[in-house]
Amino acid sequence: MDATESDSSVLVASDSVFSISRPSSASSIHPNDIPNDKPSDLPAGAPISPLFQVRHTPTAGRAVFATQDIPEGTIVWRSEDLSLSVLLREYRREVCGQCFGYDYGRDLDIRDKTVGFAFCSEACQEKWREENGEIGVQAWTAVETFVKKRSKEDSDMVDTDLPRPKVKEIQQAWENVAAQAALIRAARESEQTVGVAVTKQHKKAVQKALQQNITPDVMSFCVSGLVWRYLNPNQWERVEALADDKTPYHSSDDLGAFTRTYLHLLAILPLQLLPLVTAESLITLSSRDSHNSFGIRSLEDDGSEFFGYGCWPAASYFNHSCGPNIEKRREGRAWFFTAGKEIKAGQELCITYLSGEERKLSRGKRMLRLKKTWGFDCGCERCEAL
């Protein structure tokens, strides 16, 4: 099972949404690490360290095991491989688009209105532009221009008790937009080909797509992932290697938001990105993010503010325990994983997917929450102890 941080508010949009990443992206290697040959059966993007090993388990998918005794307080891993992230729109003025810095709700000084992000410093703004490149700046500018023109957005999808769409419904929904997508793609491609006539039908397909409701946070998720893939073509396999969720959409509305976003993005993104704007790309992003994203929260107040979420592929290999021996902590765009207690060689390294508040829930409520959000029955020591 791969990691995700639970969060009730995450369910608003995030369950299936994704995020942006860092070009350097490879899973980071701890500075003290001795280079280690990657075992041949290890998935791309899995963490490698002399302190632990990723192994397949009969019941819990891939898991991380200590290969030596690890003293309490040891930093066992640092993940800087952010592949995609969503900064929820309501936090865009208060949270730095680059380092996720936050100052108790104060609006940040530097606002880059063309791309729709604010930054804590000029250095962060420059870094953001550098990492997103010209294509990223164009893509985010297109999204921002489009979103600003719309007065009405889809309402937030908060009803988490709706049935999740099954595999068949998901396939059908994507098939239903395939023909319109092809027309929009052809209309866009004709922009660069002299002599290709665009028919009325093509133009109508574009217009129709542009008039549909928008879901800006879903759009951010998709754009973040697509720009990241464009800039890091060799890293895509790290995302593909993550455990996938075949039913990642938490409601039919959520699924609809993705298929509409697909058409919107075909209509507005820079032409160079269009080959990547496919149903397959977007489905991969949703299905991998679903159980692998980490919440991006405020660092104070026990993380009470939920800004968005992101996918750090290497960090997804740590399984969950309700009594974890690894504590995780975010610093800027990196996650640090530290031994919270003495760990013996051979023990599994676990983090918790529960938020601060959820950790205090009773066993029954905790198990229910884990089942609902991550789809597994917790068999950790704390749950089994009764």
* Residue ranges binding Zn ion (CB under 5 A): 96, 98-99, 101, 120, 124, 322, 378, 380, 383
CB distance 366 to 354 below 8 Å: yes
Minimum Å gap between C-beta 96 and Zn ion is 3
Cβ proximity to Zn ion: between 270 and 340 the closer is: 340
CA distance 137 to 86: 16
CB distance 285 to 239 below 8 Å: yes
Cβ proximity to Zn ion: between 38 and 341 the closer is: 341
Minimum Å gap between C-beta 322 and Zn ion is 3
Cβ proximity to Zn ion: between 103 and 159 the closer is: 103
Cβ proximity to Zn ion: between 54 and 367 the closer is: 367
Cβ proximity to Zn ion: between 226 and 322 the closer is: 322
275 class by beta-carbon count within 10 Å (0-12 exposed, 13-18 middle, 19+ buried): exposed
Minimum Å gap between C-beta 312 and Zn ion is 18
Cβ proximity to Zn ion: between 208 and 359 the closer is: 359
Minimum Å gap between C-beta 35 and Zn ion is 32
Among residues 157, 282, 279, 178, the alpha carbon closest in space to that of 220 is found at: 282
Minimum Å gap between C-beta 178 and Zn ion is 40
Cβ proximity to Zn ion: between 12 and 86 the closer is: 86
CB distance 352 to 319 below 8 Å: no
Minimum Å gap between C-beta 121 and Zn ion is 6
Q: How do strand 350-351 and strand 319-320 relate by DSSP bridges? A: parallel
CA-only gyration radius of the chain, Å? 21
Minimum Å gap between C-beta 99 and Zn ion is 3
Length of the chain: 386
- The stretches of the chain forming alpha helices (DSSP H) are 122-149, 167-176, 178-189, 200-211, 216-231, 236-240, 252-268, 279-289, 363-374, 381-384
3-state secondary structure of 261: helix
Cβ proximity to Zn ion: between 48 and 124 the closer is: 124
Among residues 271, 261, 232, the alpha carbon closest in space to that of 138 is found at: 271
3-state secondary structure of 66: strand
Cβ proximity to Zn ion: between 270 and 332 the closer is: 332
Minimum Å gap between C-beta 205 and Zn ion is 40
Helix 279-289 crosses helix 252-268 at what angle (to 10 degrees)?
140
Minimum Å gap between C-beta 19 and Zn ion is 16
Cβ proximity to Zn ion: between 314 and 322 the closer is: 322
Minimum Å gap between C-beta 124 and Zn ion is 3
Among residues 359, 272, 306, 270, the alpha carbon closest in space to that of 90 is found at: 306
CA distance 142 to 321: 42
* CA dist list (Å): 111 to 104, 122, 150, 167, 340: 17, 10, 20, 41, 38
Percent helix, percent strand, percent coil in the chain, to nearest 5 = 40, 15, 40
Q: If you write DSSP's letter for every residue of 139-159 in order, what string do you get? A: HHHHHHHHHHH-S--PPP---
